[in-house]
Amino acid sequence: MLDREEARATAGVRDGGTGRPLPLKVAVPLALVAGLALLAAFPPYGVWPLAPVGVALLAAAAHRRRLRAGAGLGFLTGVALFAPLLEWTNLHTGYLPWVLLSLLQAGYLALLGAATAWVTPLADRWRWAWPALTGLLWVGQEALRDRTPFGGFPWGRLAFSQDSSPLLPLAALGGAPLVTFAVALAGGLLVAVAWRPWQHQAGQWRPVAGLLAALAVVLGAGSAVPVGVRGGGDSVTVAIVQGNVPRLGLDFNAQRQAVLNNHVDATLTLAAQVAAGAQPRPDLVVWPENSSDIDPLRNPGAGDRISQAADAIGAPILVGAVLLGPGEGQVRNAGLLWRPGSGADLDQLYTKRHPVPFAEYVPLRSIARAVSSEVDRVRSDFVAGTHPGVLDAGPAVLGDVICFEVAYDGIVRDTVTGGAQLLVVQTNNATFDVAEARQQLAMVRLRAVEHGRAALMASTVGVSGFVTPDGRVTGATGFNTAAVVVRQMQLGDGRTPATRAGVWPEVALAALAVAALAGAAVLRRRREAAPD
């Protein structure tokens, strides 16, 4: 099949209006470079302009191809992007989970490549539609990848590469889907400019000028969007405690007492600094996910240590705890408010709603065990919570999400519509690396802009930090180190257009993507029915 593609492409010029795709000897390297360009747009590299470039290269490689060839090129782009982007998943679990996850994610870009090839008749017939088609297909692909299988895996969305981009403010209008659409639209404009063989004839450069002007408008659109805290409210002083762990790796939970002690001792040190006037007294202290993997509700020693810290600092502590139950052999990954003087406030308890499949629970365990015995590292399945993480801490109403949940639009949005004035992400990066932590912090930046809320990320080992409602990071900590950071944060009580719109921008864009695929089918049938 690929040989036929090669012969068909090299029989004429690359484009020249002949309806031929790029030669495969050009398209294959373009697809690989597309994946690497997309990779470089994400943290820790953060070269955000390369995201539209990667989109453009894949669009050019798949244009006018047969469906299988388009899928193959999309898959190459996906492997080049996801294999290095998700490399942190193999640090302590072996290569198999990393390879399987990377190939699964690449499969969605294979679908994107096939879809790009499929809509070729539309792009060829209406050149100005090509950028919009590119944007719609990317949103549709991400909408599918974010939800399937087992609840999806939204890591590597185009929007999450734009934490320092002028496109980031668009999140306040339509959330991550609108930012993804804008990035892919810009990529579509690039390929539309570069594709046709512009000749030095009168009027030939007008379309180029128009497309370049449209590209400038897309990139500058974010500057017109107002960002910042929505509504208004008091300011609160918040302390992040990053206690660190004795050793990175999966055995961090074998060091449970040491990890808890680290967070208690760091809080006691902060209390001493407050008493000495060296630090302001916080209204709230946030500990990260897994800061107490000893259930403090059932282990009096653990509970006493947390009470010691809360009483000393004189402020409630949001503790990341692993709680036993509710059933036999079940556990919960929870954010639990611990108040000075009274201890655990069971009315302010959030249980993680989206446990990570094959890490916090094992779906299809018998089948998964046949693939890898590593699944038996997960001895007890984490139970999913049923309510949004809206916690009334007293000084502020918190929107708590845990670890990877920050990547899921609805889980974060539900806390804001539930009354959250401040976004909190509790995470544990001890089994990963600094690249994963920085990718996660980029998501927090987008969420802060999307909902007009100040936000913070508290990690056991870093990177922790505060994020302003316009997406700026302050007080970022180092990785694999202990740290305590105190900042004043403004509370919000209003809603952005993105918060109000909810999932509907994504639904509308994905529906248009489906309509484009249907429209391309109509054109293809007409072409096949046309007399020779």
- Active-site annotation, residues: 289, 352, 403
Q: What are the structure tokens assigned to 188, written together?
A: 């579509």
Q: Are strands 473-474 and 343-351 parallel, antiparallel or unpaired?
A: unpaired
CA distance 469 to 446: 9
Q: Report the half-sphere exposure of 118 (CA within 13 A, side-chain side).
A: 21
226, with CB counted inside 10 A (0-12, 13-18, 19+), is exposed
Which residue, 149, 174, 271, is CA-closest to 225? 174
Token representation of residue 137: 């297909």
Would you call 182 exposed, middle or buried from its count of C-beta atoms within 10 A (0-12, 13-18, 19+)?
A: buried
DSSP output for 476-505: ---SSS-EEEEEEEE------HHHHHTTHH
Three-state DSSP class for 275? helix
Distance of CA 145 to the CA centre of its chain: 12
**Residue 232 tokens, joined:** 């208004």
Residue 345 is encoded by which pair of tokens? Answer: 């406030």
Beta strand residue intervals within 315-364, DSSP E: 317-324, 330-339, 343-351
Nearest-5° Cα angle at 502, 59 to 510: 30
Asked whether the bond before 469 is cis by omega within 30 degrees of 0, the reply is: no
The count of other CB atoms within 10 Å of the CB of residue 379 is 8
SS3 per-residue string spanning 181-233: HHHHHHHHHHHHHHHCCCCCCCCCCHHHHHHHHHHHHHHHHHHHCCCCCCCCC
Q: How far apart are CA 426 and CA 418, in angstroms?
A: 18
Residue position matching structure tokens 């088609």:
133
Rounded to whole angstroms, how far apart are CA atoms 521 and 516? Answer: 9
Residue type, 151: G
Eight-class DSSP state of 42: S
Count other Cβ atoms within 10 Å, centred on residue 259. Answer: 26
Would you call 11 exposed, middle or buried from its count of C-beta atoms within 10 A (0-12, 13-18, 19+)? exposed
